[in-house]
Structure 1
Amino acid sequence: MKEILTTINGISIRRNFVENLPYNPNLKALLKEKRKARILGEVIFWKKVRAKKFYTIDFDRQRIIGNYIVDFYVKTLGLIIEIDGSSHDEKEVYDSIRQKDLDSLGLLVFRISDFDVRNNLSLVMKELEDFIALHYGTTPSSKIL
């Protein structure tokens, strides 16, 4: 049985730590550049979730997983949060391959648009709550320690 990480809207959220994720050290230099870029949507989202502000869940920003750098990663859930901006336009094939690779590792990806983060953060956070509750939540009658 998986231990409870937190509770969202009365729903217990199970830990889902995914072990032994691949890591490409050749991406370290690019990772530093991406962190310095300070993309507005990412900065806004980070301010909302950093330091366990969102249901005491620990988010990592700009994390290397395999041959990719993901925007945000929740290690205790095996959850990736991607904020899609204009850089994702015209990249449907790449994004599809990337999605399949990340799925194959047992990870879930929650995608949100940069526009929504900048213009309707409360809706984005509600959608994230619902996504986590749907995929990691337990039914109230379940007993998990």
Structure 2
Amino acid sequence: MDSDNPNNKPRWQTANKNFYKKYKDERKQLKDEMTKAENMLWEKLRNKQLGVKFRRQHIIDFYIPDFVALSIKLIIEVDGKIHQLKKGEDEERTKRLAVIGYKVIRFTNEEVENDIEKVVLKIKKEVDKLTPPNLPKGEEFRT
């Protein structure tokens, strides 16, 4: 059994089947070419440092979010300058992900690069809010 996999579905089943086939190579490229801010944040999220497992560039529905904790349905996005131009698209994406049960929190590259500890503290507060109170520290649960 895979403890960080809600409903014990294969990981690719969080994606739209047709989208996954078309974008799995792009997902790999995004993973291999993370921005400075994404790399900084990944160093703080990886290995269950905040109590849950985060994945990088994991396909969900029609999207490839920067980071996701599947067990608590929390998505973390790190937005560069291009996102200022795509604000409407980002809002639609956030709404769609909320409809399927995900909470999305966003940070700018500058927030991550200039005050990583403040960003991590905000993420930790969300993790704590979304994690059931009886879950032992560092363990996962299934939805």
Task: Place the TM-score, normalised by the shorter chain, in its bin.
Answer: 0.7 to 0.9
1:22 aligns with 2:18: no
Q: What are the ranges of 5 or more consecutive residues in structure 1 without an aligned counterpart?
A: 6-14, 140-145
Alignment check: 8 A CA contact 1:85 1:113 kept: yes
Write the distance in 1 (CA, Å) between the matches of 2:28 and 2:14: 20
Greater strand share, structure number:
1
User: 1:28 Cα shift?
Assistant: 0.8
What secondary structure does 1:116 align onto? Answer: helix
Counterpart of 1:105? 100
Percent identity of paired positions between Structure 1 and Structure 2: 27
Letter matched to residue 64 of structure 2: I
Counterpart of 2:78? 83
Name which one, 1 or 2, has greater alpha-carbon Rg.
Answer: 1
Counterpart of 1:31? 27
**Number of matched pairs:** 125
Counterpart of 2:43? 47
Of 44, 69, 75 in structure 2, the residue corresponding to residue 74 of structure 1 is 69
Letter matched to residue 68 of structure 2: Y
Letter matched to residue 14 of structure 2: L
User: 1:38 Cα shift?
Assistant: 2.3
C-alpha RMSD of matched pairs (Å): 2.3
* TM-score normalised by length of structure 2: 0.76
Alignment check: 8 A CA contact 1:52 1:59 kept: yes
Greater helix share, structure number:
2
Write the distance in 2 (CA, Å) between the matches of 1:123 and 1:137: 23
